[in-house]
Amino acid sequence: MDGGAIRRWAALGAAALSLSGAFALAAPGTADAATRGRCAGREVRTLPFRTGTVHLYRSNGYVCAITVAKKSGSGVLLVSVQARGNRPVTDQGRYKHHAGPVTVHAGHRCVKVRGAAGRGTVASGWILC
């Protein structure tokens, strides 16, 4: 390779690097959708309880859950999903409206789901088998 070819390849690499940086700066807007209480897939079950509801979604072997409080500022919110044979994945804290989403890979295994909002709680047995 001569000097001109090396410079052209270096310029091409620099252009690709700057473009990837621009895409990285634009990507956080799309990543926010997952952190705002949305799960991928279709809703397969709802578990209502006195102070809220747990929504379950399934997509490509993954199960996702969100606990939504009936009243904003209900205190501690919790959502937990456990695939059979694994440990539960939990999100718990003093949230205003919802806890989660939490996602586990369940494949074709059953899952247990728990949810809480303030003093109200719900727990399923093994479901979605």
Whether the CB-CB separation of 92 and 99 falls below 8 Å is answered with yes
Pick the CATH number of 39-123 from 2.40.160, 2.60.40, 1.10.150, 1.25.40: 2.60.40
Between 8 and 99, the more confident residue is: 99
Give the burial class of 114: count Cβ atoms within 10 A of its Cβ; 0-12 exposed, 13-18 middle, 19 or more buried.
buried
DSSP 118: T
What digits encode the pLDDT tens for the residues 66-111? 999 999 877 899 999 999 999 999 999 999 999 999 999 999 999 9
- The reported pLDDT for the residue numbered 117 is 95
For range 29-43, the mean pLDDT: 60
Helix axes 28-35, 3-26, angle to 10 degrees: 30
DSSP 75: S
Please give the distance of CA 114 from its chain centroid, rounded to a whole number.
16
Give the residue extent of every domain in the chain. Answer: 1-36, 39-123
- The reported pLDDT for the residue numbered 31 is 30
CA atoms of 30 and 48, how far apart (whole Å): 30
